[in-house]
Amino acid sequence: MAFNPFEMAQKQFDTVAEQLKLSSSIRALLREPMREFTFSLPIRMDDGSMRVFKGFRVQHNDGRGPCKGGIRFAPGETIDTVRALATWMTWKCAVVDIPLGGGKGGIDCDTHELSMTEQERLCRAWVRALSSEVGPVQDVPAPDMNTKGYHMIWMLDEYEAIHHGKFPGFITGKPVGSGGSLGRTEATGYGVICCLNEACKALSIDIAKSTAAVQGFGNVAYYACERYLKLGGKLICVSCWDNSDKCSYTFKRTSGVDIVELRKITNEHGEIDKAQAKALGYEILPGDEWLAQDVDILIPAALENQINANTVGKIRPGVKIIAEGANGPTTPEADAVIKERGIFVIPDFLCNAGGVTCSYFEQVQCNMNYFWPKDEVLTKLDQKMASAFHGVYEMSVEKKAYMRDAAYMIAIDRVANACVARGWAMK
């Protein structure tokens, strides 16, 4: 049976809804998105031909504030993936206690096959399709998989042309100098390591003496590695997708990974050159071998459904912490095994919430038309992430609950209370 991330998101919700003894009305409200949009985007290609792309936007819940969530350019993107990600965004905003709801968007496309001008046309067409349904007080998009700052500024420009004004708070993840926030590029990865560092303290683990394996070498993974190395940890391997072979590879060096060195041989799509890496002393292993390393810490920072019933058995006995930098990397079946083995998990919607937290900071700065220095942004980020981590950790200790369940308890309760207060359901 094909993996369905939305069914996984619902299963996670159902488990905690039962523990919280939520009413049938609030369960029905929070289990499904409030609004969703699927639309066709006809685009003229550079060669003069026309192609029709499928676009999506899902607004899961806006009880606590405008929806917030990224836009993915991903081949094979489906409405169920977007539904799941929008749902997780609702919990993510709630667990770090920022006044936003959950949304997500995407286009089924492969950026490897598209020129920059074709990508710009896609960005503008996506905004035109949704111009009345998104905005600074409705739904605020941001970058996600295969989208970057320049995609966001094209979308902002199209939105402002349609609405005849300046609305910098419409979208986040913009380039610095065009309404973007300093620190936004590093925020998600840095937030992962902020949570990891707090977890190490709570578990009496010296992070400076620890070892880690990371899945991914994109924005989240790179900055997570950067901050982890600054704290003294030793990185054993990273992995990345290779489009030419249509598979991923793990790049391992027992003496330690040098991410600056690897970045120099990485192309614009985040693919590491295998021949050059081998010349630098890296072993080139199958993509899932990152999971089978003898390390203290695993950081899945790529895709959903990576630690599942078929792969969880690869995890070595010495692993103490899994810090989920990706969205939905661990399935409920794998969770049961990890829980039984006593591995400490920092759940995705807490661990990778640094991105949306800094996006919230960007939105605030845009609406004030006053921007903070980078140190101030990153200090505020650390304060928010550390506070959220300790709130979840204390709940897990108090309730003797798995960390994922504790995070869901806090997030779902906050969203449920907001919806009840508005009269949308009974708790």
User: For 121-155, how does the pLDDT look when each residue is reduced to its tens digit (9 = 90+)?
Assistant: 999 999 999 999 999 999 999 999 899 999 999 99
- The model's confidence at residue 303, banded by pLDDT at 50, 70 and 90, is confident
Quick one: pLDDT band at residue 427, thresholds 50, 70, 90? confident
At 245 the pLDDT is 84
Tell me the mean pLDDT in the region 48-55: 98
Mean pLDDT, range 323-333, rounded to an integer: 94
CA distance linking residue 312 with residue 294, whole number of Å? 14
The fold of the 185-351 domain, in CATH, is: Rossmann fold (3.40.50)
Residue range(s) in the chain whose domain bears CATH number 3.40.50.720: 185-351
Kindly report the pTM of this predicted structure: 0.92
Output the pLDDT for position 426.
86
Give mean pLDDT, residues 224-248.
93
State residue 246's pLDDT score: 86
| pLDDT on residue 341 | 96
Checking if the pLDDT of 269 tops 90, the result is no
Mean pLDDT on 78-89: 96
Percent of the chain with pLDDT over 90: 93
Mean pLDDT, the chain, as a whole number?
95
Check residue 232 and give its pLDDT.
97
pLDDT of residue 268: 79
- pLDDT recorded at residue 304: 87
CA distance 380 to 330: 29
Which residues are CB-neighbours of 344 under 8 A, at least 6 positions away? 199, 203, 320, 321, 322, 403
What size, in residues, is the chain? 427
- Give the full edge-to-edge strand order of the sheet including 101-107: 35-44, 50-61, 101-107, 67-73, 139-143
Pick the closest to residue 84 from 8, 2, 190 (CA basis): 8
Residue 76 pLDDT > 80, yes or no?
yes
**Per-residue pLDDT tens digits for 280-294:** 999 999 999 999 999
Backbone φ and ψ for 108, nearest 5 degrees, come out as -80, 95
pLDDT in tens, 333-379: 999 999 999 999 999 999 999 999 999 999 999 999 999 999 999 99
pLDDT of residue 49 exceeding 70 = yes
Q: pLDDT of 14-43, one tens digit each?
A: 999 999 999 999 999 999 999 999 999 999
In this prediction, what percent of the chain has a pLDDT beyond 70?
100
Positions of CATH 3.40.50.10860 in the chain: 35-167
- For residue 245 the two structure tokens come to 């072979």
Average pLDDT, stretch 406-424?
97
Q: What span, in angstroms and rounded, lies between the C-alpha atoms of 323 and 225? A: 12
| Burial classification of residue 296, based on how many CB atoms lie within 10 Å of its CB (0-12 exposed, 13-18 middle, 19 or more buried) | buried
Torsion sign (Cα): 330, 335, 338, 339: positive
Choose the weakest-confidence range: 3-7, 32-36, 202-206, 312-316.
3-7
Classify domain 35-167 at the CATH topology level.
Answer: Rossmann fold (3.40.50)
Predicted confidence band of residue 1 (pLDDT cuts 50, 70, 90): low
Residues forming the active site: 104
- Residues whose CB is less than 8 angstroms from the CB of residue 116 and which lie 6 or more positions away in sequence, other chains included: none
